[in-house]
């Protein structure tokens, strides 16, 4: 179901002050225990002007399923190399062409 789809995987926070972390990219494999994503990590932080620290290059990430808060399937034409980040009120979002923006985190969480 998720294999070969573009997804945003948001991880659980273990403690209140932990920075929200997400991965966005192509799901190359998954099973009951983990999800493999060829993509970029995205962390909400106050040290960046746009509020988000985004990896420069795509890499392979293996994410345990019990650490996943949510998975959002993005359109197949979502451009991982040129991700645009915007704000909607207090929320930081990925801009999705012809679709609903994808939630990353809230301003000030990082």
- On whether residue 29 sits in a domain, the answer given is yes
- On whether residue 1 sits in a domain, the answer given is no
Per-residue pLDDT tens over the stretch 34-91: 999 999 999 988 888 778 899 999 999 999 999 999 999 999 999 999 999 999 888 8
Q: How many domains would you assign to the chain? A: 1
What confidence category does residue 15 fall into, taking pLDDT thresholds of 50, 70 and 90? confident
- On whether residue 69 sits in a domain, the answer given is yes
Question: 46 is in which domain, residue-wise?
Answer: 6-106
**Could you tell me which of 23, 46, 22 has the C-alpha nearest to residue 110?**
46
- On whether residue 93 sits in a domain, the answer given is yes
0.95 exceeded by pTM: no
What phi and psi, each to the nearest 5 degrees, are found at residue 67? Answer: -95, 0
């Amino acid at each position: 179901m998720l294999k070969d789809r573009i997804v945003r995987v948001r991880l659980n926070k273990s403690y209140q002050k932990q920075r929200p972390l997400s991965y966005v990219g192509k799901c190359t494999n998954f099973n009951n225990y983990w999800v493999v994503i060829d993509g970029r990590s995205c962390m909400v932080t106050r040290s960046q002007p746009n509020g988000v620290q985004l990896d420069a290059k795509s890499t392979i990430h293996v994410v345990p399923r019990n650490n996943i808060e949510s998975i959002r399937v993005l359109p197949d034409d979502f451009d991982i190399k040129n991700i645009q980040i915007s704000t909607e009120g207090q929320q930081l979002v990925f801009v999705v062409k012809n679709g609903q923006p994808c939630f990353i985190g809230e301003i000030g969480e990082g």
